[in-house]
Amino acid sequence: MAETTGPHIGAVGVVLGSEDAGPLEFWVGVAEGARLELDDLVVAEVTLGDGQIVSFFGIVDIVRKRYEGGQFDSDAFRAAEGTLPVEVSYAAHIQVTRVDPEIFVPPHPGNAVRIVRGDDFQRALFIDRMEKKVAIGHTRSGETVFANLEFLDGTRGAHVSISGVSGVATKTSYATFLLYSLFHSRALGPDATNARALIFNVKGEDLLWLDKPNSHTNPTLIEEYRALGLEAGPFTSVGFFAPPRRHVEVVMPEVGSRHEGVSAYMWTLREFARDHLLKFAFADAHDTRSQISFLIHRIERELERAAKQGDPEDPGLDLHGTRLESFDDLVDLLDSETLDHLVKNAAGGTLDAFRRRLHAAAQHMGHLVRGDREAARHKIHWQANQVTVVDIHTLHDIAQMFVVGVLLKGMMHEKEKQGTSRPLVFVVLDELNKYAPRSGWSPIQDVLLDIAERGRSLGVCLFGAQQTASEVERRIVANAAMKVVGRLDAAEAERGEYGFLTRVARQRATMLSPGSMIITQPEIPTPVLLKFPFPTWATRQSEVRDDGAPVDPFARS
Amino acid sequence: MFGDFRVRVDPWEVDYGDQTPLGPLDDEPKEQVDHEVETKDADWEPITPTGDPSLPPRVVFIDGVRRLEARVTARRGDRLIHGGFGSYGVGAVHLENSSAVFGELRTSRVAVLGAGEQLPGPVRVRPNLAYEAESTPNTELDGPLRHIQKSMRQAEATLARDTFRDDTLTIVDGPLSFEPARKGLALGYIKRIHQLYLPGKFVTLLAGLPAGSRSPIFSIQTAGAGFARFSWFQRLADPGPGETELHGIVRLEVAAGGGLEKARTLADSAAAWLPRTAPKRARDPRSPQNLLPIGALEQKLRAALGDPRLFRRWIQVLVTKEALRG
């Protein structure tokens, strides 16, 4: 039996000679009593004529059993009743992942094949070549799988695209697990101190408990994290922001279950004017060539001009001689003839269309922009904590778009000003298909494309999630270095966007269970199915572990 | 390598893979038949056993395959001798506990010369593959093949004796060539009828024998072979319309030493049970006579013997090398 480094299990079979054996794929006959299953990683070592040993590492992507020499379906019945002697052939197809050294001769039929573990496993997936790596999950047999950090931090690539049907709770869970692994391992090294994450909470309140330990954490789970090189626990530095309640003078965050530690966020009218935010209130997809875009542009210019006058600390604004203290004031002003003065020569129909949409937007996002003193104190300080969760799940689509657009644009603007790729920023955004749809154009799509294309050099890494990658702007998906797939709808799995999946992986993607993902990354030539552990941070109030107040040793009973 | 023989390969392809048991290849001496052992002539009619067949817990099928890989001529001076390189294999299938498994397989490779001549030693065609030198007195062209057939039959008998146990019914392919030494039972299974053994008046009965039925038992005494056998015909499956009326009829024989009563029980069991092991036409062109365990065993034996074209080429290469060397 061949011996190499690392712990391993003995030979499970031999290279078959009844099927073509090649350097890129071959079949293994599984020995009696041995077991080889899908996703197992194996190696066949071949000694060449000159004594050199070539290792063919590969992953099992097909396993099958059949009667050897059996020719008829009815043979199974005859064999079962004991009149036909048969022999069962158990074989596995190996997709080669690495040939080391790179001598592409075929393996020899009859060569022993064994399952790899430990160091050999890491060799099989090129993990031994990664200088900076981060744990991204483990195989079903418990081997840790790593990603090359250089493809996440912008050195050689960036961005993660996560696809999968909703309801299986895998996309966001996996994105948060990745963040946890990045922030709670030594992967980032010196970059860890200043690296930041910006997470948008799109559905439910499951991301509003990241800083609380999960009551389901048990020794098995802790061990699972430990095996991945992680300490089980909640995120240690998290800031939570929620939109303000409507129709209330006092600013209070609009939250369901969590009340403490959540701040409300809003923008001042002056910021709105100064930073050209009006277009994000009109963020639903539209045509760039339409007159409205032009109109919005003109008004933004006027607003910017107004913002430059007066006290820069004043949250309110004077526009065209009118004092504006709230978003409604602005709407009222634009409703009047002032609009006609601001944008001369605009067609009446265009103005009407603009007003109609402005009213619709104001109804949903008006409360996020205010001109009073209070508003100035409710900014989102996304750099204050390692992780910042911005809740938008209670907001209407239009307001969601506004918040995402404004925040991302602001973030990119700041990164641009810094002009360096450090500190790193990770952005987690679900429902990417809504913000950057394949068809149409929107100002948010512009920002997201900017992140996808320039984020690498600015140190911004987008963890984009979507039900269907086929509905997301092509360039955003294409720019993701790491592609992750949870359970897919059967029709979706056949689309070209999943061309990185093998035929077998496509089939399996339609039946993945929660906690399992198929991952493709640049250096590993085959998609790998892996599992990630259950979160050790709470995802709902009922999971929050009640540690009680710290016990005071001096307290008298 | 070949001593003072000038060995040359006949470039004509041998009829390889032909497994049809050639009747004339098995020497069948004159026999005496008594067809009134079980039933008087006048009362002869099909017997359809009722009730469950009573068989020993273990049934073993023994069968063999053989082939000629290359015909050769060996000349010494003015004597031209026919010879051949061939292989044969014998094996067993065990049926017990409702499962059928392959038992032992034995293969042999021989280089046979006729006319009582023999090559000086084993012929090594590959580093790990040698043909044993053997000899047959037969001077005919098919002498070597007959010799291989005979060797195969002997190997079958040896294997049958080796697998013999008290709780076992052994079924061998072809006429019984040995008498079971101990208590176990042995059946000879003859799948093609060359010789009727019965007077013409029984042909009507045989032609109309229904599936699952048998003829009455008759006895066969071979003049030279030493032991008497009880035998019967039985039908495995009814012929389709227009098919020969003897289709599906096989003959079985058992050593007479065990007594008529034992033979009758066995005949009844075989008549009822063997049809269950018969393949459908779609599975085996030699259905139904080529029983499933036998068919599978032959397939496995042929696989064990390897691709005959490869062996033929190795033999040709070796002989050519020797010839060129002078």
% of chain B exceeding 70 in pLDDT: 92
The two structure tokens encoding residue B290: 């080529």
Closest by alpha carbon to B270, among B177, B188, B147? B188
% of chain B exceeding 90 in pLDDT: 56
The two structure tokens encoding residue A199: 């997470």
Q: Is the pLDDT of residue A316 over 90?
A: no
pLDDT tens digits, A343-368: 777 777 888 888 888 888 889 888 89
- Residues of chain A with Cβ-Cβ distance to B297 below 8 Å are 85
Position B293 confidence tier, pLDDT thresholds 50, 70, 90: very high
Distance, in Å, from the CA atom of A56 to the CA atom of A123, rounded to the nearest integer, reads 11
Closest by alpha carbon to A441, among A300, A288, A544, A302? A288
When pLDDT is averaged across residues B208-236 and rounded to a whole number, the result is 87
pLDDT of residue A198: 94
Matching residue, tokens 């929660």: A514
Distance, in Å, from the CA atom of A409 to the CA atom of A417, rounded to the nearest integer, reads 12
When pLDDT is averaged across residues B288-310 and rounded to a whole number, the result is 92
Binary contact (A74, B100; C-beta < 8 A): no
Distance, in Å, from the CA atom of B210 to the CA atom of B47, rounded to the nearest integer, reads 9
pLDDT tens digits, A68-89: 876 788 888 888 888 888 888 9
Binary contact (B296, A82; C-beta < 8 A): no
Phi-psi region of B170 (alpha: psi -120 to 50; beta: other; left: phi over 0): beta
More reliable by pLDDT, A145 or B165: A145
When pLDDT is averaged across residues A423-435 and rounded to a whole number, the result is 90
pLDDT tens digits, B42-53: 788 899 998 888
Residues 82-121 of A with CB under 8 A from B: 82-87
DSSP class of residue B41? G
Tell me the CB-side half-sphere exposure of residue B186, using CA atoms within 13 A: 28
pLDDT of residue A5: 37
The two structure tokens encoding residue A189: 């090294």
- Residues of chain B with Cβ-Cβ distance to A79 below 8 Å are 100
User: Which stretch of A159-168, A474-483, B178-187, B277-286 has the lowest confidence by average pLDDT?
Assistant: B178-187
When pLDDT is averaged across residues A144-164 and rounded to a whole number, the result is 91
Mutate to test the interface with A, among B236, B299, B307 (most CBs of A within 10 A): B299
Q: Is the pLDDT of residue B248 over 60?
A: yes
Position B23 confidence tier, pLDDT thresholds 50, 70, 90: very low
Chain-wide mean pLDDT for chain B? 87
Chain-wide mean pLDDT for chain A? 87
Strands (E) located in A293-429:
317-319, 322-324, 369-370, 387-391, 425-429
Residue A78 touches partner B, C-beta closer than 8 Å? yes
Q: Is the pLDDT of residue A97 over 70?
A: yes
Q: Is the pLDDT of residue B166 over 90?
A: no
When pLDDT is averaged across residues B165-177 and rounded to a whole number, the result is 86
Chain B interface residues (partner A, CB cutoff 8 A): 93, 95, 97-102, 276-277, 279-280, 282-283, 292-293, 296-297, 299-300, 303
B95 bridge partner residues: B59, B100
Q: Is the pLDDT of residue B232 over 90?
A: yes
Position B223 confidence tier, pLDDT thresholds 50, 70, 90: low
When pLDDT is averaged across residues A297-306 and rounded to a whole number, the result is 88
CB pairs under 8 A between A and B: 41
pLDDT of residue A546: 73
For A126, A206, A218, A512, the CA distances from A516, given in Å and listed in that order, are 21, 19, 20, 6
What is the DSSP code string of A348-384? HHHHHHHHHHHHHHHHHHGGGEE-SGGGGG----TTT
Helix (H, G, I), strand (E, B) or coil at A449: helix
The shortest C-alpha distance from A79 to chain B (Å) reads: 7
What is the DSSP code string of A106-164? PPPTT-EEEEE-HHHHHHHTTGGG-SSEEEEEE-TT--EEEEEGGGTSSSS-EEEEEE-
Q: Is the pLDDT of residue A10 over 70?
A: yes
Q: Is the pLDDT of residue A548 over 80?
A: no
Position B225 confidence tier, pLDDT thresholds 50, 70, 90: low
pLDDT tens digits, A456-500: 889 999 999 998 888 898 889 888 999 999 999 888 888 888 888
Q: Cα B242 to the chain's mean position, in Å?
A: 29
On whether the CB atoms of residues A4 and A57 are closer than 8 A, the answer is: no
The two structure tokens encoding residue A258: 């969590």
Q: Is the pLDDT of residue A534 over 80?
A: yes
Q: Cα A24 to the chain's mean position, in Å?
A: 31
What is the DSSP code string of B238-306? PPPTTS-TTTTEEEEEEEGGG-HHHHHHHHHHHHHHGGGGPPPTTT-TTTTTS-HHHHHHHHHHHHHH-
Q: What is the ipTM of this complex?
A: 0.77
Helix (H) or strand (E) holding A404: helix A397-418
Helix (H, G, I), strand (E, B) or coil at A439: coil
More reliable by pLDDT, A319 or B298: B298
Distance, in Å, from the CA atom of A407 to the CA atom of A72, rounded to the nearest integer, reads 65
User: Which stretch of A163-172, A196-205, A257-266, B135-144 has the lowest confidence by average pLDDT?
Assistant: A163-172
pLDDT of residue B29: 53
- Residues of chain A with Cβ-Cβ distance to B293 below 8 Å are 83-85
| Angle formed by the axes of helices A397-418 and A348-365, nearest 10° | 90
Mutate to test the interface with B, among A83, A87, A88, A89 (most CBs of B within 10 A): A83
Compare CB distances from A83 to B97, B102, B277 and report the shortest one's residue.
Answer: B277
Position A437 confidence tier, pLDDT thresholds 50, 70, 90: confident
pLDDT of residue B135: 96
Residue A73 touches partner B, C-beta closer than 8 Å? no
pLDDT tens digits, A212-228: 899 888 999 999 999 99
pLDDT of residue B25: 46
Position A135 confidence tier, pLDDT thresholds 50, 70, 90: very high
Q: Nearest chain A residue to B277 by CA: give it.
A: A83
The two structure tokens encoding residue A493: 């799995």
Position A308 confidence tier, pLDDT thresholds 50, 70, 90: confident
Distance, in Å, from the CA atom of A306 to the CA atom of A276, rounded to the nearest integer, reads 12
- Residues of chain A with Cβ-Cβ distance to B279 below 8 Å are 78
pLDDT of residue A102: 92
Find the farthest-apart pair of alpha carbons in chain A and give their distance in angstroms, rounded. Answer: 101
For A145, A162, B202, the CA distances from A482, given in Å and listed in that order, are 13, 9, 83
If you count DSSP H runs as helices and E runs as strands, how many of each does chain B have, helices first?
Answer: 5, 12
Q: Would you say the pTM of this structure is higher than 0.95?
A: no
DSSP class of residue A104? -
More reliable by pLDDT, A341 or A308: A308
Determine the length of chain A: 557
Q: Is the pLDDT of residue B120 over 90?
A: yes
Say which residues have a Cβ less than 8 Å from residue A346's Cβ, sequence separation at least 6. A291, A295, A298, A340
DSSP class of residue B20? -
Q: Is the pLDDT of residue B140 over 70?
A: yes
Compare CB distances from B297 to A71, A72, A85 and report the shortest one's residue.
Answer: A85
B189 bridge partner residues: B173, B252
- Residues of chain A with Cβ-Cβ distance to B301 below 8 Å are none
Closest by alpha carbon to A1, among A77, A90, A104, A112? A112
- Residues of chain A with Cβ-Cβ distance to B100 below 8 Å are 79, 82-86
User: Which stretch of A232-241, A337-346, A458-467, B9-18 has the lowest confidence by average pLDDT?
Assistant: B9-18
For A200, B1, B8, B118, B127, the CA distances from B326, given in Å and listed in that order, are 90, 12, 12, 20, 22
Determine the length of chain B: 326
When pLDDT is averaged across residues A536-556 and rounded to a whole number, the result is 68
Q: Is the pLDDT of residue A154 over 70?
A: yes
pLDDT of residue A7: 37
- Residues of chain B with Cβ-Cβ distance to A78 below 8 Å are 279, 292
The shortest C-alpha distance from A89 to chain B (Å) reads: 14
Helix ranges restricted to H, chain B: 143-163, 203-207, 260-273, 292-305, 308-325
Q: Is the pLDDT of residue A2 over 70?
A: no
Residue A548 touches partner B, C-beta closer than 8 Å? no
The two structure tokens encoding residue B6: 């000038």
Mutate to test the interface with B, among A74, A84, A86, A88 (most CBs of B within 10 A): A84
Binary contact (B93, A85; C-beta < 8 A): yes
% of chain A exceeding 90 in pLDDT: 37
If you count DSSP H runs as helices and E runs as strands, how many of each does chain A have, helices first?
Answer: 15, 22
Binary contact (B296, A74; C-beta < 8 A): no
Distance, in Å, from the CA atom of B290 to the CA atom of B179, rounded to the nearest integer, reads 24
Q: Is the pLDDT of residue B253 over 60?
A: yes
